[in-house]
Chains A and B, each alone.
Chain A
Amino acid sequence: MRRGTFLAFVAPSLVAMLLLIAVPLAGVAWIAVHNSHVETALAEVTTEVPMFGGVTRKVTRLVPQPVLDEAGEAITTWEYVGGAEIARAAELERVGEALTRDRGDLPITEKLSGVHSDIVNLDFWDALEFTLLYTFLTTPFVLGIGFALALAVNRVTERLRGTLVFATLLPMIITPVVSALSIYWLFIDDAVISSLLQQMGFEKLYFLGSELTIRSIIIFHGVWSATPFAFILLYAGLQTVPHETLEAARVDGANRWQATWAVTVPHLAPLFAVIALIHLMDAYRVFEPILVFGSSVYANSLQHLTYFVLAFQDNIHKAAAYALLTVAGIVILLIPVLRHTWREQKGLG
């Protein structure tokens, strides 16, 4: 295919991505290094203030008023601030304070935990901590459980497979907000799980009232809703594992585990890599469970933090600063993958 034809074919898709992904990214970067305010000036404003019995009094005060241009619109001034807004969003000053604060002569472990707790007290670092925790804790479970399920379903008789596959896919098919709600309702105070545990003789638990339990539940939801995706890809992959090689391994004396480990797993390795990559991207932008569980105090995510600043504080500069830091994070996470792809391409070319 010639270069011209190629460009013509990819043009619509490319334009859409450039216009609505690349340009907005540049826009976010631009907003993050600027600050804006509406120009105001003191103006005399006269109002009638009611006193009593329908008597009013005229009061004239100096009040800041927006300055209007010829068209009658308020004038907004943009000013370049460099990295100041980003440094403020990441609260770098207080991170520095936390690092340099005098902690007397406590043992080193306690000093470190003091530094840690000071830093995660700051919004951005707290969200970053949980986002990374969520991303890296869910990934191995998603891969492991997904693979185990794929192996198990693969052994079941044909007749049952369709039903099993459908039931397994349920947590993925249902939209995230609804699936998060369905888990949330099981764990609210005095709901199913809590009263079941009480009947089994455990103490009464308030799952949504402590950091440890609420974080565990959100991570559980993450594993629960992403496992079907790993399962379906690995299940499809299992159908392509060469039968002869497996049989040969068994004939050579490998037991079941060894055969799986030495033949099936290497055959599916590229698939594992793809699933891990996609899950990494998706887990990094965890949002819905945080929203549904209302857990931002105990477990916040970068995406939820940015959303909150954008939607409720209505501060686009701060939101853009958080957004830029979020992008920096995902790019850092992707660097190994990008380098690997780049090397592979160079090897081919």
Chain B
Amino acid sequence: MRREPAWLTVLTATGLGLWLVVAIFPFLWMILISFRSPVDAFSVPPELFAPFTLENFRRIWLVDGFWHYGISTLVVTFFTVLISLGIGCLAGYALSRYGGMLGFWLLLGALVFRAMPHVVLLTAYKPAFFELGLWSRYETLIIVYVAINQPFTIWMLRSFFVNIPRELDEAALGNYLGQSRHMDKLMLGIAGAVSITLPLIVLVLLFQKYLVSGLTQGAVKG
């Protein structure tokens, strides 16, 4: 490689430095004021140094029962990821191996479904779930999350399976009782897909928490 000119290094460093401040500062400030009493947290003008207190944390953990919400989130997330990956892997694998038009239409449909604003679905869920008596239940929330995440999940898993050569499938199928070297490779491929997808799906789940759970789960938590 050629030597980098100095101005480029300066530009890179300044740009990255500026971005880091913008990216992190809001969170740093939030952490800072979380250790203050309300008066100090929103003092006018804001101070960089103020008395330190853990009172806010004591209150949300011990008085307000914040861990209830934490457990709700964990339970819902765990089962959603489990079911999403289960049925998503099947569909993703089939989509990567099937050549017909049906697969194309399914992917195109999933793309349109991916674009649906969730409040649209909520408008239908609300009267329907009330009528069926399913409103405000963990099972309902999990199934809804699984369904609205399927478009993204199958697109993603399909693109992983496309990269695993087809010959491996057959070799693995032929030999799965004998030498299992190929099976190992296939399994590794699947494991790789799952391990990369898993955190991403968890992320996506955390992302859309508010809107849907705000209505379907509010009562469970409250």
Contacts and interface: CB of A to CB of B under 8 A. Distances in A.
B124 A24 contact: yes
Interface stretch (A37-45, A51-59, A112-120, A185-193): A185-193
Which of B4, B24, B114, B147 has the most chain A CB within a 10 Å cutoff? B147
B187 interface: no
26 contacts: A10-B154, A13-B90, A14-B91, A19-B147, A20-B121, A23-B124, A28-B121, A31-B123, A149-B15, A164-B20, A168-B19, A170-B23, A170-B27, A174-B27, A176-B207, A178-B30, A185-B26, A285-B117, A285-B119, A288-B211, A306-B123, A307-B119, A310-B119, A311-B215, A320-B123, A341-B108
Contact of A16 (B4, B125, B128, B146): B146
B150 A28 contact: no
Given A152-B16, A190-B45, A330-B116, 19 more contacts: A9-B91, A10-B154, A14-B91, A21-B116, A24-B128, A25-B124, A145-B19, A148-B15, A156-B12, A170-B23, A171-B26, A175-B207, A186-B29, A284-B117, A306-B119, A316-B127, A319-B123, A327-B120, A341-B111
Interface stretch (B49-57, B59-67, B97-105): B97-105
Contacts, number: 217
Q: Which 4 interchain pairs have the tightest Cβ spacing?
A: A9-B94, A24-B124, A20-B147, A13-B91
Interface string A1-29: 10101110110111011011111110110
Main secondary structure of the interface of B (DSSP, over half): helix
Contacts of B112: 331, 334, 338
B27 A192 contact: no
Contact of A307 (B87, B106, B122, B127): B122
A124 B37 CA distance: 41
A282 to B, nearest CB: 9
Interface string B135-161: 000000001101110110110000000
B15 to A, nearest CB: 6
Interface residues on A, range: 35 or more
B181 interface: no
B42 A191 contact: yes
B115 interface: yes
Given A190-B44, A316-B123, A173 B203 contact: yes
A195 interface: yes
A195 B91 CA distance: 54
A293 interface: no
Contact of B206 (A1, A31, A175): A175
